[in-house]
Amino acid sequence: MTKSRAVIVGASHAGAQLAASLRQEKWDGEIILIGNESALPYQRPPLSKAYLAGKNTLEDLAIRSAEFYAKQDIQLQDATVDAIDRPAGQLALSNGESLRYDKLALCLGARARRLPAPGADLAGVFYLRTAADVELIREAAATARRAVIVGGGYIGLETAASLRALGLDVTVLEATERVLERVTAPEVSAFFDRIHREEGVVVRTGALVQALTGDAQVREVVLTSGENISADIVIIGIGVEPNVELAAAAGLVVDNGILIDSHARTSDPDIVAAGDCASQDIARYGRRIRLESVSSAGEQAKVAAAAMCDKPKEIAALPWFWSDQYDLKLQIAGLNTGYDEVILSGDPARDRDFTCFYLRDGELIAADCVNRPRDFMFSKRVITQRTPVLREELVGQSVR
């Protein structure tokens, strides 16, 4: 009798966790993990941090060793999946082969959003999503003096810190009025703005890129204000787009991500999805959200594996995130969506450690903790358990 076959498409945080979790859930059939980055599944977060700064190698970033996959009888396959034939339970691979599946997991992730400006295809213009991207950036950075980063989000700011560590002059261009505008309170934005300026980065807000110019190689970034900024390299970090085309073409429901239910199941009972490519309704936040974090990819992958083994679990763990810049470790517990009040513990205008607590209707819903690991643990617990907290307790959090 043929063994049941689980195929996982996308071999990164979600895919690697899902494969491991399938064995933990006692899936005794085949497991095939298909990836198209020609590497053992590796950790993506260090790419803009230690890896860009040259502090570690790709081998250091492996999520699991090659021996782990061999021991767990997880077959790694290097291929791109081009199409899903759901009625036939078949995948079409870019090498012309087809592959049968009984259960399918889509862990397709996301790709860097392209800058819609003339000149964005010049040499010296980079995006930062994969290890291969970083290798190109590092090579160019070795002979560059001036780097311009388009986008003042986490990836842009982490990249700024790493390029400063490599000795480059760095300018960050942010289109909105403050860095991290989409994700943090103004006080936290002001903190990171100050830190980067203190570290020698030129931070320009309200700076909209009109074009990149140069001969074959990028030389200048032209702003809509008419100003020109010289650049040897330009790195664009303006967000990501989920890889949903494969799912959409197969007729799965897609809404800013492959739609999954609380058990990580898509609109097809034989197909689950997890990670950056998946969106889900989260009752607590009252909306459909596509999370972009390692912790969420891991949680959804565990739940997806359970669903594939017909042992449904609920996606429950609180989303959390982190960012490393210079000597600062930012840890974020929860999502601040819909916050109506912030409480600060510490002084972000002066210190290098503080916590910004976000409340909605008096309830703690999220916290940005800079160099405050204890505040982070406290917040995770309180937010998860929905424990009532007094405002005075939060202000005094650092001295407890």
**Where on the chain is the footprint of ligand FAD (CB under 6 A)?**
9-15, 34-37, 44-45, 47-48, 80-81, 107-110, 128-129, 155, 243, 246, 275-276, 292-295, 297, 321-323
Task: Kindly tell me which of 242 and 348 has the beta carbon lying closer to ligand FAD.
Answer: 242
Report residue 323 CA to chain centroid gap. Answer: 10
Task: Kindly tell me which of 43 and 345 has the beta carbon lying closer to ligand FAD.
Answer: 43
Instruction: Give the separation between CA 184 and CA 191, rounded to whole angstroms.
Output: 11
CB of 389 to ligand FAD, least distance (A): 25
Task: Kindly tell me which of 60 and 347 has the beta carbon lying closer to ligand FAD.
Answer: 60
Q: In what order do the strands lie in the sheet with 328-334?
A: 320-325, 328-334, 363-370, 354-360, 341-345
Q: To which residue do tokens 């990149």 refer?
A: 212
CB of 211 to ligand FAD, least distance (A): 25
CB of 298 to ligand FAD, least distance (A): 9
Task: Kindly tell me which of 108 and 238 has the beta carbon lying closer to ligand FAD.
Answer: 108
Task: Kindly tell me which of 9 and 203 has the beta carbon lying closer to ligand FAD.
Answer: 9
Instruction: Give the separation between CA 280 and CA 76, rounded to whole angstroms.
Output: 28
CB of 86 to ligand FAD, least distance (A): 15
- Sign of the dihedral through C-alpha 90, 314, 299, 21: negative
Long-range pairs of 251-254 with CB within 8 A, sequence gap ≥ 24: 251/86
Task: Kindly tell me which of 154 and 191 has the beta carbon lying closer to ligand FAD.
Answer: 154
CB of 76 to ligand FAD, least distance (A): 12
CB of 180 to ligand FAD, least distance (A): 13
Report DSSP letters for 88-131, one per residue: TTEEEETTS-EEE-SEEEE---EEEPPP-STTTTSBTEEE-SSH
First to last CA, the chain: 62
